[in-house]
């Protein structure tokens, strides 16, 4: 395992295909550990999602205003638990990033215990950083949706004008083709805008844990590293999204078959007409798919973080030096080495004579060629 991580570590910049290939290989080698690490937060979000679906379904069938209020409060609680589960997932991703980068750098074994030890070492920093990232993701989704709505509204306006001109005679099929093309253009633009905005905070947990920075400093540092990463993030999203959807369909296939034999049509659009056992089971199986695919993002974002530092800062030279000479020696407190260590020691494990965290970019002394 150490040979795979360190001896054969390619330090050249990675394309989208190389990134996915490396992620899948590392995921296959550490499958059990990564699954065990991702299960607890996904279970939390799954419980919240199931509670939300059940309460929304029950609200439409409630016979009194009192029950509607109870189900509404249950739906709000379920949504809160679901959001908390998402925060827990982002927190675990941050803790895993340190263990994964240590594995890539020095061949440290990847274990669930080390991942959660990293989470405990900077829990509150990871928690607030995850809250900022989650809020930013919602803002990014709103920005992407707004861009798509602008495109679709413009397309409908143009179609209205063209339809008025071709009402008597003309190629009616052209309007349908134009409408389909504009839907696709809107979806592509929505995806691009989302990742253009969301990519700015893609490396906040990695910076927090690997470089030992604070929350606000990690956000600025992530935005600095995130230049030009839209295409690779979109590639990772499309790959994991397709894999997640495929896994979900495969897991749900026996459930759909059983429901069909039981006289339940699983393709009904009205969820209130489906039995509760089918709704709960279907939601639970989708979350099992999430458990299987969540580690792919853990690996992918950690590899992408290392790759961004290789592209922008010559991190490959630092990694080679660390692999050949080991850790940088500690300098007395108050003095700054021209280069920062490849990975900062955990805050709760720093020795009294160890250096403080690396200063901000504006405070670094001149002569730091790699800008680390």
CA 197 from chain centre, in angstroms, equals 13
Q: What's the pLDDT at 49?
A: 85
Domain-embedded: residue 83: yes
pLDDT tens digits for range 75-86? 899 899 988 888
Residue 218 CA to residue 299 CA, distance in Å, equals: 19
List pLDDT tens digits, range 237-291.
888 888 888 888 888 888 888 888 887 777 766 666 777 788 788 888 888 888 8
Examine the pLDDT at 365 and tell me if it is beyond 50.
no
Q: Is residue 273 part of a domain?
A: yes
Please report whether residue 372 resides in a domain.
no
With a cut of 60, say whether residue 177 has pLDDT above it.
Answer: yes
Query: Does 205 reside within a domain?
Result: yes
**pLDDT band at residue 361 using 50, 70 and 90 as cut-offs:** very low
Decide if 9 is inside a domain. yes
357 found inside a domain: yes
Question: Is pLDDT larger for residue 210 or for residue 8?
Answer: 210
Query: Could you write out the three-class secondary structure of 102-151?
Result: HHHHHCCCCCHHHHHHHHHHCHHHHHHHHHHHHHHHHHHHHHHHHHHHHH
Counting Cα atoms < 13 Å in the Cβ hemisphere of 303 gives 29
Mean pLDDT across the stretch 292-312? Answer: 78
* CA torsion, ordered 45, 51, 52, 54, to nearest 10 deg: 140
CA distance 345 to 356: 10
Asked whether residue 310 carries a pLDDT value surpassing 80, the answer given is no
Spatial separation of the C-alpha atoms in residues 86 and 36, rounded to whole Å = 16
Which SS3 state, helix, strand or coil, does residue 371 take?
coil
Domain contains 371: no
**Which pTM does this prediction carry?**
0.70
Q: How many domains does the chain have?
A: 1
Higher pLDDT, 169 or 265: 265
The pLDDT value recorded for residue 143 is 92
User: Rounded CA gap, 24 and 30, in Å?
Assistant: 10
Lowest-pLDDT choice from 76-90, 187-201, 226-240: 226-240
Of 135-139, 154-158, 227-231, least confident by mean pLDDT is 227-231
Q: Count CB atoms within 10 A of the CB of residue 239.
A: 19
Q: What is the mean pLDDT of the chain?
A: 76
Quick check: 122 and 346 in contact, CB under 8 A? yes
Mean pLDDT of 171-195: 85
Q: Per-residue confidence at 8, pLDDT binned at 50, 70, 90?
A: very low
Grade residue 157 by pLDDT with cuts at 50, 70 and 90.
confident
Task: Give the number of C-alpha atoms closer than 13 A to the C-alpha of residue 139, restricted to the C-beta side.
Answer: 12
What is the per-residue pLDDT for 269? 61
Which domain does 8 fall in, by range? 2-363
Band the pLDDT of 320: cuts 50, 70, 90: low
In the prediction, which pLDDT does 22 show? 81
pLDDT of residue 244: 84
Q: What number is the average pLDDT over the span 112-127?
A: 85
| Contacting residues for 228 by C-beta, under 8 A, at least 6 apart | none
């Amino acid at each position: 395992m150490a040979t795979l991580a360190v001896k054969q570590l390619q330090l050249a910049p990675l394309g989208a295909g190389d990134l996915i290939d490396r992620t899948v290989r590392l995921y296959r080698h550490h499958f059990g550990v990564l699954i065990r690490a991702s299960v607890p937060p996904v279970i939390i979000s799954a419980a919240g999602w199931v509670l939300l679906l059940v309460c929304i379904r029950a609200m439409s069938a409630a016979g009194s205003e009192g029950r509607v209020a109870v189900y509404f409060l249950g739906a709000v609680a379920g949504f809160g638990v679901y959001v908390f589960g998402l925060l827990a997932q982002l927190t675990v991703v941050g803790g895993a990033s340190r263990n994964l980068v240590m594995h890539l750098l020095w061949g440290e074994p990847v274990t669930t215990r080390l991942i959660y030890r990293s989470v405990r070492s900077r829990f509150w920093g990871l928690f607030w950083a995850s809250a900022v990232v989650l809020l930013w993701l919602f803002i990014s989704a709103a920005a992407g949706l707004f861009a798509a709505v602008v495109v679709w509204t413009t397309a409908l306006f143009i179609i209205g004008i063209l339809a008025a001109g071709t009402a008597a005679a003309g190629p009616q099929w052209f309007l349908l083709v134009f409408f389909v093309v504009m839907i696709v253009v809107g979806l592509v633009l929505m995806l691009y805008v989302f990742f253009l905005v969301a990519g700015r905070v893609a490396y906040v947990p990695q910076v927090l844990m690997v470089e030992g920075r604070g929350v606000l400093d990690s956000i600025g540092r992530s935005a600095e590293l995130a230049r030009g990463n839209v295409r690779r993030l979109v590639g990772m999203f499309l790959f994991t999204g397709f894999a997640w959807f495929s896994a979900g369909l495969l897991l749900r296939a026996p459930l759909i078959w059983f429901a069909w034999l039981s006289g339940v049509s699983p393709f009904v659009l009205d969820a209130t007409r489906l039995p509760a056992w089918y709704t709960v089971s279907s939601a639970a199986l989708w979350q099992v798919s999430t458990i299987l695919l969540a580690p792919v993002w853990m690996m992918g974002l950690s590899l992408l973080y290392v790759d961004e530092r290789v592209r922008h800062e010559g991190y490959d030279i630092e990694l080679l030096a660390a692999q050949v000479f080991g850790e940088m020696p500690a300098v007395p407190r108050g003095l700054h080495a021209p280069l920062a260590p490849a990975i900062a020691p955990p805050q709760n494990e720093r020795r009294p004579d160890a250096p403080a965290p690396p200063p901000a970019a504006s405070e670094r002394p001149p002569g730091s060629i790699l800008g680390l």
